[in-house]
Structure 1
Amino acid sequence: MKTLRSVAVVLISVIWFVPSYLIIVNAFTPSDAYTGEARWVPGGAALLANMAAAWDAAKLGPSMLNSLAYAVIAGLLAVLVAAVAGFAVTAIPGGRRVLWFWVIYAGSLFPAQAFLRPLFTGYAESGLYDTRLGLLLIYVATCIPFSFFILRNHMLTLPSEIAEAAQLDGAGWWRIFTGFFLPLSRSALAAAFIFQFVWVWNELLFGITLSYSESIRPVMAALAGLQSAYGTVGPPVVLAGALLVSLPTVIVFLAFQRVFASSLGGTRI
């Protein structure tokens, strides 16, 4: 049984890695030497040249700075709001805690496509369309439910005696939250932020729907624009651009992988 499990894990890992391998190998191929068929071995050493071509064609520099700002600001704000909500439904006495959990967490259960039409109409009428503020608002709103899920589950593991002892010493709820629960939730806060950073960085749907200016759009929207120029720049350049814009999230994940292991050990509802 153990051998079969190991074989299954290896097969799943290979199947998962094959598309990534093909992207990397074909990104090395010079654009003028690409024949239209997927290569299984490198056809050259043009990866850096293809990345440079993608950088210039899609103007990835400004869009990467935009995505960096969106990911950092939206991630921080969403995690802060989620931490307050998680504290409220775990430490503060009151009924219907499970109901409030589902009310907040349900925001991550509905498909994003269901919000596009009312969002586009509302943004167009309110002047938020094609603005950094508009994208930040929707990113914060969509990041809160899952961050709340992580932080609420973590705070459930903290001893209830912490809040009781602090109250006996005269501490208010805000003091208990900032002085005890936040410091004890640092690993969970970091994990939630990293999750949201990666999600905002890779988000495409809202980026192409709620913005069109090069000075506003996030990096994935810029990459989508590069793909629309498929016949001009060539598939290897598009693939190299995809590798280039994925590097920040890969670096962040590898640098903080221990945070995931230590913070996401279990879930409770």
Structure 2
Amino acid sequence: MTTRRISAGTAVRNTVLVLVSLLWAVPTWLLVVNALVPAADYSGSPHWLPHGGFGLFDNMSQAWTRARLGPAMGNSLLYAVTSSAAAIVVATTAAFATVIMPVKRKTLWFWLIYSGTLLPLQVFLRPLFLAYARTGLYDAQIGLFLVYVAVAIPFAYFIMRNFAQTLPGEVIEAARLDGASWWRVFWQIHVPLSRSAMVAAFVFQFVAVWNDLLFGITLSTSRNIRPVMAALAELQGNYSNVGPPVVLGGALLVSLPTVVLFFSAQRFFVSSLKLG
């Protein structure tokens, strides 16, 4: 009887997971199917099944040329790599200080740092815009870099703190008894042990920065500064005459780097989630 109940529960769980997965896959399916339609043959209504000719590469080519996706993808790559790496360094250091080191009020420090994720990003737009306009950071790469680092730190800290709590305290105690300084413990013990969690946090933040549109269109105007999502949004502007298949082809094209990164770091991603 118990075995039958477990089997029935497993079957129900697997069925629910499959249904949820299919539901999540519907937008991706619609994106791919409609990106395949040649722009000249698009009727104005979305297709659920492949229809007409194969215009994916032509749509991608038009999106690449008209939106200047090459320089924009270079900008996003710069922002995503540098800001994510800087945020991971800060978050790892903060996690080490608030979990491993004997500091007071550890819970207070956690909420003080993590509270940066509790407010919607739209709250920061007006003060950021005014401050950037007065300090010369508006429409500058350093300005976008700073805001991306600040936004990425709280969630990266959340991941690194949870992972740090799973690390064996005996290793740290043994190192301290042998006379190792906190600086040495951090770089030679904590960082190597936290490598998988750092990679997972980097993937999270890279995807978030790469997909950002809000700060990209608010804090920049020049095409040599704007990230890729802001450049892609220009294809849907009032003065754009391209069809939806071109926009979808561009969206599919700019999503490839995040997909490649995720599958490349999947081993670190899964292992860190299991431990953290």
TM-score of the aligned structures, taking structure 2 as reference length: 0.94
Aligned residues: percent identity? 57
Corresponding residue to 2:123 among 106, 114, 130: 114
Pairing 1:22–2:30 present: yes
Q: Is the Cα–Cα contact under 8 Å of residues 29 and 46 in structure 1 kept in the other structure?
A: yes
Structure 1 residues 231 and 220 mapped into 2: Cα distance closer, same or farther (>3 Å)? Answer: closer
For 1:73 and 1:231, locate their aligned partners in 2 and report how far apart those are by CA, in whole Å.
32
1:223 correspondence with 2:236: no
Q: Does 1:254 align with 2:263?
A: yes
1:2-30 Cα distance to aligned partner (Å, 9 max, x none): 33322222221221111111110110111
Counterpart pick for 1:203 among 180, 205, 212: 212
C-alpha displacement of 1:231? 5.4
* Distance of 1:69 and 1:222 partners within structure 2: 15
Structure 1 unaligned blocks of 5 or more:
none
Q: C-alpha deviations, 1:64-118, integer Å up to 9, x for none?
A: 0000000000011000000110000011112211111111011112110010010
- Letter of the 1:163 counterpart: I
Q: Equivalent residue for 2:80?
A: 71
Aligned residue-pair number: 267
Partner SS for 1:249: helix
Q: Distance in 1 between matches of 2:245 and 2:209?
A: 25
8 Å Cα contact 2:216/2:229 also seen in 1: yes
Code of the aligned partner of 2:154: P
Distance, in Å, in 1 between the alignment partners of 2:104 and 2:173 is: 18
Stretches of structure 2 lacking an aligned partner (at least 5 in a row): 1-8
What corresponds to 1:151 in structure 2? 160
Please list, as runs of the form range in 1=range in 2, the aligned pairs for 1:81-230 lying within 5 A after superposition: 81-228=90-237
Distance 2:15 2:205 in 1: 33
After TM superposition, what 4+ stretches of structure 1 lie above 6 angstroms from structure 2? none
The residue type paired with residue 133 of structure 1 is: I
Rounded to whole Å, the distance in 2 between the matches of 1:175 and 1:266 is 24
Rounded to whole Å, the distance in 2 between the matches of 1:108 and 1:66 is 25
Match in the other structure for 2:58: 49
Cα deviations by residue, 1:168-212 (Å, 9 ceiling, x for unpaired): 222111111011100111111111111111111011100110001
Query: In the alignment, residue 55 of structure 1 is paired with which amino acid?
Result: W
Residues 40-69 of structure 1: CA distance to partner in whole angstroms, max 9, x if unpaired? 222211100000000001000000000000
1:229, 1:185 → 2: CA distance?
48
Q: 2:242 aligns with which of 230, 233, 236?
A: 233
CA distance in 2, matches of 1:257, 1:229: 40
Alpha-carbon separation, structure 2, partners of 1:231 and 1:92: 56
Deviation at 1:229, TM superposition (A): 5.5
Contact 1:89–1:100 (8 Å) recurs in 2:
yes
Residues 97, 103 of structure 2: 8 Å contact kept: no
RMSD: 1.3
The separation in 1 between residues aligned to 2:244 and 2:142, in whole angstroms, is 34
